[in-house]
């Protein structure tokens, strides 16, 4: 390609010939622009008699020359260009509106702090309002006034119960195994390795079974709730429900909430059992405790109080996970990104709230001497 320019008194002449493709010589382009900026230049002329092929890299240069001409209020003569190329340059300048893109306002420190505080207050209020709606839906369910499809409930129940059995069993088994290993290291030094059975049984039934079940269900089912409902938000399905007058919490939240509340205690039971079996494997195979003895010590350690406390935790976690998943799904934005954000928030907040609720329940149990 050939790219020559020369200044003839007040006229800057750019001559183009050959194939002008993929041109990216910044140095030459800058010198051309500098020549066009020269105060002596009053007209820019482009001659392209020998121009064969061209692409957008040439259009970029010509558009820049037009910009310079317009800014400097000098003439430009592009009549030597192919007609199509002239038309393209015309098209590039045909719409010249400035978009209104408001820069975010920089607030003073105190105002910024206050705004953030108000935002947090707004979020908390919204969350509490949603929880109130969920309780109201549960109330309508108990009085047979809730509007939801039984098939949705059964699907949700299937998804969070027997479809979760494999992963819950594996994780809980491994946790039981780890608990037994960690306990055995200390207990062995006192020759009390037989108490590994008691340690695993108490830990799993009182809290660990419920926590492990909760973490797995939050990552599996809670995330799925947020993604499913979030996608419905993107597809305007939630708007359709609202305009049809169908209560969103009844139709979307209730089947998921009730199925998780029902299934979580059973999932917790399964996690307890698998954890105890995991601990048993370590006890019998590594610590050389006989299976009969391990079972006997496990039975002695198990009591109804710990057992019910664990089940209660599972029940509460079910509520927390379902509410977090559905809340972030319903409050999801309108694009693909926001579904990902909603899913992440649902899982993180489920786990955080599970820990917070565990702390509260433990403190209350302690106060009640349970």
Partner 1 sequence: MKNDAVRIKAENLTIAYGDFVLMKNLNFEVENNDIFIIMGGSGCGKSSLLRILTGLQSSPTGRFLIDGMDFSHSGENRRAELMRRCGILYQSGALFSSMTLGENIALPLQQYTDYSPKLIKELVDLKLSLVGLRGFADFYPSEISGGMAKRAGLARALALDPEILYCDEPSAGLDPISSRLLDDLILDLNQSLGTTFVIVTHELASIFAVGTNSVFLDAETKSIQARGNPKELLRNPPNEKIHNFLTRGEKTHG
For partner 1, the closer of residues 59 and 284 by Cβ is 59
Structure-token match 């909603």, residue found: 342
Tell me, rounded to whole angstroms, the distance of Cα 360 from its chain centroid. Answer: 27
Provide the minimum distance between the beta carbon of 59 and partner 1 in the complex, in angstroms, as a whole number.
6
Distance of CA 143 to CAs 132, 136, 171, Å? 17, 11, 38
For partner 1, the closer of residues 14 and 274 by Cβ is 14
Q: Are residues 52 and 21 in contact, defined by beta-carbon separation less than 8 angstroms? A: no
How far the first Cα of the chain sits from its last, in Å, is 88
Q: Which span (91-99, 107-115, 119-127, 276-284) binds partner 1, by CB under 8 A? A: 91-99
DSSP 3-state assignment of 147? coil
Write each residue from 14 to 53 as x if it is in contact with partner 1 (CB under 8 A), else as -, in one continuous string: --------x-x-x---------------------------
For partner 1, the closer of residues 10 and 239 by Cβ is 239
Tell me, rounded to whole angstroms, the distance of Cα 230 from its chain centroid. Answer: 10
Which of 13, 92, 131, 194 touches partner 1 by CB under 8 A? 92
For partner 1, the closer of residues 336 and 363 by Cβ is 336
Q: Are residues 268 and 311 in contact, defined by beta-carbon separation less than 8 angstroms? A: yes
Which of 17, 57, 303, 362 touches partner 1 by CB under 8 A? 57
Total of residues contacting partner 1 (CB under 8 A): 29
Write each residue from 317 to 346 as x if it is in contact with partner 1 (CB under 8 A), else as -, in one continuous string: ----------------xxxxx---------
Q: Are residues 33 and 62 in contact, defined by beta-carbon separation less than 8 angstroms? A: no
The structure tokens listed for 20 are 């002008």
Which of 42, 47, 64, 140 touches partner 1 by CB under 8 A? 64
For partner 1, the closer of residues 101 and 150 by Cβ is 101
* C-beta neighbour count of 64 within 10 angstroms: 14
Residue 105 in contact with partner 1, rule: CB under 8 A:
no
What share of residues in the chain are helix, strand, coil (percent, to 5)? 75, 10, 20
Provide the minimum distance between the beta carbon of 339 and partner 1 in the complex, in angstroms, as a whole number.
10
For partner 1, the closer of residues 145 and 334 by Cβ is 334
DSSP 3-state assignment of 261? helix
Residue 45: strand pairing partners: 13, 77
Which of 27, 71, 73, 101 touches partner 1 by CB under 8 A? 101
Residue 162 in contact with partner 1, rule: CB under 8 A:
no
What distance in Å separates the CA atoms of residue 350 and residue 357, rounded to the nearest whole number? 10
Q: Are residues 232 and 324 in contact, defined by beta-carbon separation less than 8 angstroms? A: no
- Contacts with partner 1 by CB under 8 A lie at 22, 24, 26, 55-57, 59-60, 63-64, 84-85, 87-88, 91-99, 101, 333-337
């Amino acid at each position: 390609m050939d790219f020559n320019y020369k200044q003839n008194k007040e006229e800057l002449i750019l001559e183009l010939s050959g194939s002008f493709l993929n041109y990216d010589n910044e140095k030459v382009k800058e010198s051309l622009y500098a020549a066009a900026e020269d105060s002596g230049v009053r007209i820019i002329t482009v001659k392209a008699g020998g121009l064969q092929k061209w692409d957008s890299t040439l259009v970029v240069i010509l558009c820049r020359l037009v910009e310079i001409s317009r800014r400097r209020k000098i003439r430009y003569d592009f009549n030597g260009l192919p007609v199509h190329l002239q038309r393209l340059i015309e098209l590039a300048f045909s719409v010249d509106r400035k978009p209104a893109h408001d820069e975010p306002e920089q607030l003073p420190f105190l105002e910024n702090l206050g705004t953030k505080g108000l935002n947090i207050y707004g979020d908390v209020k919204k969350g509490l309002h949603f929880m109130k709606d969920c309780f109201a839906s549960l109330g309508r369910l108990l009085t047979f006034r809730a509007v939801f499809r039984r098939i949705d409930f059964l699907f949700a129940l299937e998804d969070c119960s027997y479809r979760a059995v494999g992963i819950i069993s594996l994780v809980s088994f491994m946790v039981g195994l780890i608990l037994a290993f960690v306990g055995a290291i200390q207990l062995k030094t006192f020759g009390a390795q037989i108490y590994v059975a008691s340690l695993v049984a108490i830990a799993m039934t009182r809290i660990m079974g419920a926590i492990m079940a909760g973490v797995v269900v939050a990552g599996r089912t809670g995330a799925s709730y947020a993604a499913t409902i979030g996608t419905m938000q993107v597809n305007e399905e939630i708007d359709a429900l609202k305009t049809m007058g169908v209560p969103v919490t009844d139709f979307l939240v209730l089947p998921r909430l009730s199925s998780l509340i029902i299934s979580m205690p059973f999932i917790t039971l399964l996690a307890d059992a698998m954890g105890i079996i995991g601990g048993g494997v370590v006890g019998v195979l590594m610590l050389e405790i006989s299976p009969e003895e391990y079972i006997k010590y496990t039975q002695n350690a198990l009591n109804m109080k710990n057992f019910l406390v664990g089940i209660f935790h599972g029940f509460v976690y079910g509520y927390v996970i379902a509410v977090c998943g559905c809340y972030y799904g319903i409050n999801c934005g309108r694009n693909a990104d926001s579904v990902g954000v909603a899913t992440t928030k649902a899982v993180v907040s489920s786990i955080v709230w599970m820990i917070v609720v565990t702390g509260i329940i433990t403190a209350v149990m302690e106060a009640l001497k349970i």
